[in-house]
Amino acid sequence: MTTAAVRDRGLNLLTGWQNAQDSRNQADVQQQRIDDTVWRKPDEGHFKCNVDAAFFKESNRVGIGICIRDDSGRLVKARTSWSTPLLDVPEGEAIGLLYAIRWAKEQNLNNITFELDSKRVVDSFHSTRNDVSDLGAIIRECRTTFSSFFTNSRVEFIRRQANEVAHRLARAATFYASIHYFTVLPDCIQDILINEMR
């Protein structure tokens, strides 16, 4: 075999390998996108607390939905509440996180992951930057309560599609006169939660 033939064969093998790697990487990215839009059960012995806020201009309210589930995906407890006046979106989402952290503390839960679909709030929670805004003040309160009580716990960002249970609860919050607690699966999230337990 000539030197040129060996070189060409080597280039063909290299090109084939690179194409296979590109295809594999694309498949991994596509799978990651699918995984990002699906709610995942927590590890054994852990809990997940999903949090969301909904904003109602017409009634000048922010609805908050919180859902705590166990490692089988079953409902432990859920809660809805609302506050007025209407807040900017980041502040409303941060208030939701603060309510969730305080409520989980009251329940003496640990080994818990708080999930919300506001990247800005999650990034602010993990930031070391001194933020003197209203959002920064809420986040500082979140951090203080979280660090003084929770161990083996974290705050994470998830895609909106994976946070549908908390979103529906937040949308339902203004139908109740005040804070409402659920220990039995409410109708507004029954279909999603049952599907996510599979």
Whether 53 and 25 share a structural domain:
no
Q: What is the structure's pLDDT at 38?
A: 93
Whether 103 and 137 share a structural domain:
yes
Report the distance separating Cα 12 and Cα 174, nearest Å.
64
> In sequence order, what are the beta bridge partners of 26?
none
Whether 17 and 88 share a structural domain:
no
Report the distance separating Cα 152 and Cα 51, nearest Å.
19
Whether 70 and 5 share a structural domain:
no
Q: What is the structure's pLDDT at 5?
A: 63
Q: What is the structure's pLDDT at 8?
A: 62
Number of structural domains (the chain) is 2
Per residue in 114-164, pLDDT tens?
999 999 999 999 998 888 899 999 999 999 999 999 989 999 999 999 999
Domain assignment present for 177? yes
Q: What is the structure's pLDDT at 28?
A: 47
Domain assignment present for 41? no
Whether 2 and 65 share a structural domain:
no
Domain assignment present for 81? yes
Amino acid at 173: A
Q: Are 91 and 134 in contact (CB under 8 A)?
A: yes
Q: Which residue has better confidence, 107 or 17? A: 107
pLDDT-based confidence at 33, cuts 50/70/90? Answer: very low
Whether 115 and 171 share a structural domain:
yes
Q: Are 138 and 91 in contact (CB under 8 A)?
A: yes
Say if pTM beats, i.e. exceeds, 0.85. Answer: no
The H or E element that residue 101 is part of is: helix 89-106
Whether 26 and 54 share a structural domain:
no
Q: What is the structure's pLDDT at 4?
A: 62
Whether 16 and 110 share a structural domain:
no
Domain assignment present for 93? yes
Whether 8 and 91 share a structural domain:
no
**What share of the chain in percent tops pLDDT 90?**
72
Least Cα distance to 80 among 103, 107, 106 occurs for 103
Q: What is the structure's pLDDT at 132?
A: 87
Whether 76 and 132 share a structural domain:
yes
> In sequence order, what are the beta bridge partners of 50?
67, 115
> In sequence order, what are the beta bridge partners of 61?
56
Domain carrying residue 22 = 1-36
Whether 92 and 6 share a structural domain:
no
